[in-house]
Amino acid sequence: MFSSTGNPYFTAMPEDRMQFEITEGSAIKHPRYSGLLNAWTLSFVGALVAILYLVYSRPDPYWRILKFLPDGILVTFQVTTASIFFALLLGLLTGLGRVSGNRIVNVVASTYVEVVRGIPLLVQLFYVYYALGRYLQVPDMVAAVLAMSVCYGAYMGEIFRAGIQSIDKGQTEAARSLGFSKRQTMFLVILPQAWRTILPPVGNEFIMLLKDTSLVSILAVTDMLRRGREFASETFYYFETYTLIALIYLVITLLLSRGVAHMERRLSYD
Amino acid sequence: MFSSTGNPYFTAMPEDRMQFEITEGSAIKHPRYSGLLNAWTLSFVGALVAILYLVYSRPDPYWRILKFLPDGILVTFQVTTASIFFALLLGLLTGLGRVSGNRIVNVVASTYVEVVRGIPLLVQLFYVYYALGRYLQVPDMVAAVLAMSVCYGAYMGEIFRAGIQSIDKGQTEAARSLGFSKRQTMFLVILPQAWRTILPPVGNEFIMLLKDTSLVSILAVTDMLRRGREFASETFYYFETYTLIALIYLVITLLLSRGVAHMERRLSYD
Amino acid sequence: MTKAEPIISIRDVRKFFGQLQALRNVSLDVRKGEKVVIIGPSGSGKSTLLRAINRLEEVDAGQIVVDGQNICSPEVDINLMRQELGMVFQSFNLFPHKTVLENLTMAPMKLKNIPREQAEAKAMELLERVGIKEKASVYPRKLSGGQQQRVAIARALAMNPKIMLFDEPTSALDPEMIGEVLDVMKVLARSGMTMVVVTHEMGFAREVADRVIFMDHGEIIETGTPEHFFVNPEHERTKLFLSQIL
Amino acid sequence: MTKAEPIISIRDVRKFFGQLQALRNVSLDVRKGEKVVIIGPSGSGKSTLLRAINRLEEVDAGQIVVDGQNICSPEVDINLMRQELGMVFQSFNLFPHKTVLENLTMAPMKLKNIPREQAEAKAMELLERVGIKEKASVYPRKLSGGQQQRVAIARALAMNPKIMLFDEPTSALDPEMIGEVLDVMKVLARSGMTMVVVTHEMGFAREVADRVIFMDHGEIIETGTPEHFFVNPEHERTKLFLSQIL
Amino acid sequence: KDIVIASDATWPPMEMLDSSKKVVGFAPDLLQAIGKAAGFNPVIKNVAWDGIFAGLIAGKYDMVSSSVSITDERKNAMLFSEPYFEVKQAVIVQKGSGIKSAADLTGKTVGAQIGTTGYFAAKALKGVTAKTYDEVGLAIEDLYSGRINAVSCDDPVAANYALLQPEYSDKLEIAFILPSEEKEYYGFAFPKNKKGEENVALVNKGLAKIKADGTYDAIVKKWFSAK
Ligand SMILES: Nc1ncnc2c1ncn2[C@@H]1O[C@H](COP(=O)(O)OP(=O)(O)OP(=O)(O)O)[C@@H](O)[C@H]1O
Ligand SMILES: Nc1ncnc2c1ncn2[C@@H]1O[C@H](COP(=O)(O)OP(=O)(O)OP(=O)(O)O)[C@@H](O)[C@H]1O
Ligand SMILES: [Mg+2]
Ligand SMILES: [Mg+2]
């Protein structure tokens, strides 16, 4: 027997000049990846050049805006990192709860996930900040981080659950049969293996969280967007301010997403 | 040879009383699903009962709030459906562009995806609404729908791309060898098969979009959340208003997610 | 070897995949009504050659003339040309979202604007020919591999092609189904269709082929009648290959 | 059959999986140092029985006493009990994030608080016994199946169990690796370890087993010496099974 | 003694941010003077308007100074100082829109900041669609780009936007002042509790002092001399 499987290669047929085409190109090995790669470079370099150009060519609003933002950018990062930290903790607990054999723990964790994923983040932010504010006396930043963590904890929980469930059950059986308790099995055998599966989606959540911290600007937490809004409301440079802010977000998230892609590739290799 | 693969079943070991446990339960066939199912029922019934209870037991703020909201809920749905419609259109174009063999079309589509995914939705909303507002004279609803569609179009594009790429290349070859053009192949052979893969994630995007329409409240589009904020700003019933709004969002998204799960199961069967 | 009126004429065709040369100066003429069987080890370029004939692969040098048209030329309407060239794949590639009947009527209706009734009548006739008329309204996934491949042949025939190309049509099939597909192909051969078949079914080659072509490393090594091949092959590589396969 | 001092005593054990009864009134005693081989067709309940012994499966009725302790009782510290019962799986189940040495030292260090040096010395000794000392610092994925299974045996032995349970330890292995694992098991048998082995390796059974048990449909059908089984089995089902397998 | 004061600094010239992100304006100057007179240190915090009272009730700060008009509903929920400034509701329109009186607004959309007396006044007008914004500047921006027909807000703010911002003064104008039976005054808001009562007394004391010694008039002159 010689050939038995279909030919996995397909060739380009450049004869048609239609606008949208089915890819059949084989020249590029990973057309998807390299497509985005080029788009990445284009977007990143484009955003950077645009920022520099605007600041140099029209320093009047743009350099003023840029000078106005740094503490806001810092707050954005602070909220993001603090939130991701607590979201990870909460996500770990939730993930463990979701795979728990204990019916009650399981339902509690699942309900948390269902409820939190069913309510818009903005509503949760308002709720924690203003509504619960009456009963829970916390500073702004803490309220913002709390709301973000509770929300993202649910998503993280699903990531942890998937990561834990991706580990072969034979690992659990082997550990248990050696005499490890359930807890030891989880923390010594399952989780140390699961992090490879967990890390890349966590990276994506980090980026999403960074973007979503823009919502805290509504709570008078002076993040980057809030600073921009303040500037614009004073100077009426709405267009210029939002342009610059969008570009800065873009640069930051593109850098992060490159990092995540890099991590993903490294994890998938060895 | 008798057994050759590992035993796929695992049994419950209820001997430990620790808080977090590794699931080994086999009584439930799909522990994950039924876990969420119960959580779903719990959340849904809980939210409904809470709404009814609050409205009946304390009609003073709650019934007043509820009466204040309906036109806002309508706006939320209008923005959601209009946005999903245009996002689907844009997503189709983007998906086609992302799989296109035409380098320029490909890079344009990919850059669109990269840029839009790199900027927070809220910033995009501000940008389209206020920044572009000076140059683009559009009514607020249109601006909101435009911003939401542009943002979600990028995500939809990735869904379409994945759906298209999930179809075996043999289908393309068979269609082309019968004499179909690339366009005919795409629209007669590939897309009609791809919708099965595309529909469930589109359903999820729909739910996410519904939640994200809460952001348009910041643009003075009087959606459900804005109506609630208006009510609260006059009556100072912050806690009550946000409670009710969160519950209503929860009921709506839980209903929708049940629908999506149902669709997903039906599609995966036949 | 080349007689008058070749319906396919391949001249000095070369094809590279990156560094790898899949076709090296291949020339081949196929006359109207001729049955050509291509054999050779895996990776020898059989599929590439077959696919080049209807431009599923673009060649890098040389020319391929089918029915008087240079299919490599950018001026040629390749979609029209391909209607002349029925192709059958190893993996059937039926359209799973269409019934068997729709699989057969789709191309004629969309591409030749044949009215539905007429297309369906033709389709039923073809399904009868390949022996699965009763499955007309069924979806492909309900069919066995052999049935699917017979539908795929009928689908190609529905466009009234002048030439049929087969790329290992039976090698994805369970042994008990190979026969039914080969039978359909034999009937088709007897009807006078021009056929180019890549296959390892030597019984079929012996019975049907006017000419057998042995390829290796992208080259045509040897050409001859089935008798010549199975009784008295010239080249060492041909002998080796045949000894392995028979 | 039951002599003094059974180290495993299984009494009227039943196990249901939903409707399916996987074990029907199974009773079995294993003496200290005895080698018991369990054979039987797929789905007959061999694995379930073996796994019940260290409570990887909970039984629904009956009792299992291991080394004087009723392991079905909720009072028993099952994690301590399991340290007495080494288990080897068909699929090795080495910990892929740990080196071979760490695979062996992890349980003794964490569960018995044995200091690292001591645990490592013991581990190296065991690795030498199973013949792969040189792979101590390697990660499991770099090992062949046979090597992995030998490490798995050494890992189980590192806890100094009184009893070793084997569930088809060689059936996931390529034929050329089966021998090396069986050899390790034979050496272990000669050292006086109590062993319960589910296997289809009849040569091993003949050479090592004190007793062979044939199971079918969740029941023990026949028990005897290897000679009894291979020369003169009583039951029809046993005969049928042996005729298929030998 | 520190008193933490919340201010939505998007309400020029009453309170706004300068380029060093400090809250400045009429009210901050007034508060400095009051603090000096009454012996406390005002710590001004920039807070979003929507929810500013929720924060006060929740105890996130001691007092709100954010051009808050004293209304009966608000008095139910919080304590107020003595009035410190009289305001009227002004209606800003695009030049040449032909809107001259409340009657001309029928069928039109009027924007206002959420939860302000400007919004309440717009809502009270018959046949008018009232639209809320998080900041008055955003409403003005929408008026400027033609999405709405008018904006109603406190007259000093309206004057600032319509007359002083060069970009807007070309295109916008104050059409009229909304008639109202009662006079409307700004007051500082405090939570209804013991600490709130103490602070009200303290602030009232300081306010009375600076009104008496002429400091108040000097501050008014500084910020509203253009009028
Ligand atoms: N699209 C492609 N890209 C890169 N290499 C290819 C491509 N298609 C085919 N090849 C290579 O070209 C050579 C010839 O392939 P071809 O499929 O024509 O061989 P074949 O004779 O049909 O073999 P088989 O009997 O396995 O089907 C092989 O080495 C194959 O790997
Ligand atoms: N966790 C489980 N849930 C449901 N059924 C199970 C479970 N584990 C085993 N079974 C069923 O119980 C019966 C006995 O299974 P067991 O694994 O003990 O058989 P076996 O003799 O080891 O077979 P094999 O030689 O295939 O390993 C089989 O029918 C099996 O399908
Ligand atoms: Mg081939
Ligand atoms: Mg088994």
How far away is chain D from the Cα of B37, in angstroms, using its nearest Cα? 22
- Of A244, A237, D1, A228, nearest in space to E168 by CA: A237
Ligand approaching nearest to the C-alpha of C56: 1
Measured between beta carbons, which residues in chain D are less than 8 angstroms from residue B29? none
CB contact (8 A) between residue A118 and residue B257: yes
Measure A2 CA to ligand 3 centroid, in angstroms: 9
- pLDDT per position as a tens digit, A120-154: 998 998 888 777 766 766 777 888 899 999 999 99
Reported ipTM: the value is 0.80
User: How many domains is chain C built from?
Assistant: 1
Residue D151 lies in a domain: yes
CA-to-CA dists, residue C139 to B166, C98, C169, D9, angstroms: 20, 6, 20, 58
User: Cβ distance B247 to B51 under 8 Å?
Assistant: yes
Closest atom, ligand 1, to C-alpha of C215? 21
Buried b (16+ CB within 10 A) or exposed e, A40-78: bebbbebbeebbeebbeeeeebbebbeebbeebbebbeb
Q: Is the CB of C48 under 6 A from ligand 1?
A: yes
- Residue A255, token pair as written in the block: 């850098």
D233 phi and psi, to 5 degrees?
-70, 145
Distance of CA A10 to the CA centre of its chain: 35
Residue C2 lies in a domain: no
pLDDT of C193-204, one tens digit each? 999 999 989 899
Rounded to the nearest integer, the mean pLDDT of chain E is: 87
Say if residues D40 and D214 touch (Cβ distance below 8 Å).
yes
Centre of ligand 2 from the C-alpha of residue B6, in Å:
10
**Which residue lies with its CA nearest to atom 17 of ligand 2?**
D47
Please name the residue that has the structure tokens 């348009």. Answer: B216
Q: Is D182 in the pocket of ligand 2 (CB under 6 A)?
A: no
Please determine, for residue E201, whether its predicted confidence score (pLDDT) is greater than 80.
yes
How far, in Å, CA of D178 to CA of D204, rounded?
11
Determine A/D contact with 3+ CB pairs under 8 A as the test: yes
Count Cβ atoms below 10 Å from residue C179 Cβ, excluding itself.
15
* DSSP letter for each residue of A114-156: HHHHHS-HHHHHHIIIIIGGGT----HHHHHHHHHHHHHHHHH
The reply to whether C1 falls in a domain is: no
Is A19 in the B-facing interface, judged by CB distances under 8 Å? Answer: yes
Q: What is the pLDDT of residues A55-80, one digit of tens each?
A: 999 998 899 999 989 999 999 999 99
Q: What is the mean pLDDT of residues B130-145?
A: 78
Indicate whether A8 pLDDT > 80.
no
Chain A residue numbers with beta carbons less than 8 Å from the beta carbon of D58 are none
Q: For residues E122-146, give the mean pLDDT.
A: 85
**Residue B44 in tokens:** 């849904």
Per DSSP, the three-state class of D199 is coil
Residue E189 — pLDDT band, cuts 50, 70, 90? very high
Which chains contact C through at least 3 pairs of Cβ atoms less than 8 Å apart?
A, B
Domain assignment present for C3: no
Amino acid at B146: L
For C215, the 3-state DSSP assignment is strand
Neighbours of E47 (CB within 10 A): 25
> Residue A247: which pLDDT band, with cuts at 50, 70 and 90?
very high
CA-based nearest residue in chain D for residue A168? D93
Q: Which residue has a Cα nearest atom 16 of ligand 1? A: C45
SS3 label, residue D21: strand
Instruction: Tell me if C55 is assigned to some domain.
Output: yes
- Going by DSSP bridges, is the β-strand pair D219-224/C211-216 parallel, antiparallel, or unpaired? unpaired
Structure tokens that stand for A182 in this block: 């359930």
Q: What is the domain-level CATH number for residue D55?
A: 3.40.50.300
* Residue E131: closest C-alpha in chain B: B220
At least 3 CB pairs under 8 A between chains D and C = no
The whole-angstrom separation of Cα A106 and Cα A99 is 7
How much is the mean pLDDT over chain C? 92
Strands C194-198 vs C163-167: parallel, antiparallel or unpaired: parallel
Is the pLDDT at D2 greater than 50? The verdict is no
Q: Does any domain span residue D30? A: yes
Q: Is D58 in the pocket of ligand 2 (CB under 6 A)?
A: no
Distances (CA, A) of A89 to A107, A150, B36, B212, D6: 19, 10, 21, 25, 49
**At least 3 CB pairs under 8 A between chains D and B:** yes
- CA A234/CA E8 separation, integer angstroms: 12
State residue C73's pLDDT score: 87
Contacts of C186 (CB under 8 A, 6+ apart): C204, C207, C208
Distance CA E158, CA E164 (A): 9
% of chain E surpassing 90 pLDDT: 31
- Chain B residue with the nearest C-alpha to that of D171: B4
Q: Is A2 in the pocket of ligand 1 (CB under 6 A)?
A: yes
**Host domain of residue D219:** 8-244
Which residue in chain C is spatially nearest to A5 when comparing CA positions? C172
Confidence class for position B256, pLDDT limits 50, 70, 90: very high
pLDDT tens, position by position, D158-210: 999 999 999 999 988 888 889 999 999 999 999 999 999 999 898 999 999 99
- pLDDT tier at A231, thresholds 50, 70, 90: confident
> How confident is the model over B53-87, as pLDDT tens digits?
999 999 988 999 999 999 999 999 999 999 999 99
**Nearest-CA distance from A208 to chain E in Å?**
24
Length of chain D, in residues: 246
Integer Cα distance of D246 and D238 in angstroms = 12
Q: How far is B108 from chain A (nearest CA, A)?
A: 8
Q: Does C55 touch chain A (CB under 8 A)?
A: yes
Read off the pLDDT band of D109 (50, 70, 90). very high
* Nearest protein Cα to ligand 2, atom 30: D43
Q: In Å, how far is E10's CA from the nearest CA of chain A?
A: 6
Task: Please give the interface size between B and C, counted as residue pairs whose CB atoms are below 8 Å apart.
Answer: 54
Residue C74 lies in a domain: yes
Q: Is residue C73 part of a domain?
A: yes
The secondary structure of residue E69, as a DSSP letter, is: B
Q: Round to whole Å and give the CA distance between B47 and A182.
A: 35
Residue with the bigger pLDDT between E92 and A17: it is E92
Domains of chain A: 39-50+61-268 (1.10.3720.10)
**B21 vs D: CB within 8 A:** no
pLDDT higher than threshold 80 for residue A198: yes
Q: Residue C46: CB within 6 Å of ligand 1?
A: yes
Q: pLDDT of E79-104, one tens digit each?
A: 999 999 988 899 999 988 888 888 89
Using most ligand atoms within 8 A of CB, pick from D15, D42, D165 the residue to mutate for ligand 2: D42
How many Cβ atoms sit within 10 Å of the Cβ of residue D44?
26
Q: Is C17 in the pocket of ligand 1 (CB under 6 A)?
A: yes
Judged against a pLDDT cut of 60, whether residue A9 lies above it is answered with: no
Residues in chain D with CB shorter than 8 Å from the CB of B3 are 42, 47, 90, 168, 171
Percent of chain E topping pLDDT 70 = 99
Centre a 10 Å sphere on the Cβ of residue B67 and count the other Cβ atoms it contains: 11
| pLDDT higher than 90, residue D116 | yes
Q: Using the predicted structure, report yes or no on whether residue B261 has a pLDDT greater than 90.
A: no
pLDDT at A1 over 70: no
Average pLDDT over residues A21-30: 32
Substitution site in B7, B10, B29 for ligand 2 pocket (most atoms within 8 Å of beta carbon):
B7
**Across residues B118-138, what is the average pLDDT?**
82
Whether C5 has a pLDDT exceeding 80, the answer reads: no
Closest chain E residue to A65, measured at CA: E19
Note which residues in 115-144 of chain B have CB less than 8 A from chain A.
115, 117-124, 126-127, 130-135
The shares of helix, strand and coil residues in chain D, as percent rounded to the nearest 5, are 40, 25, 35
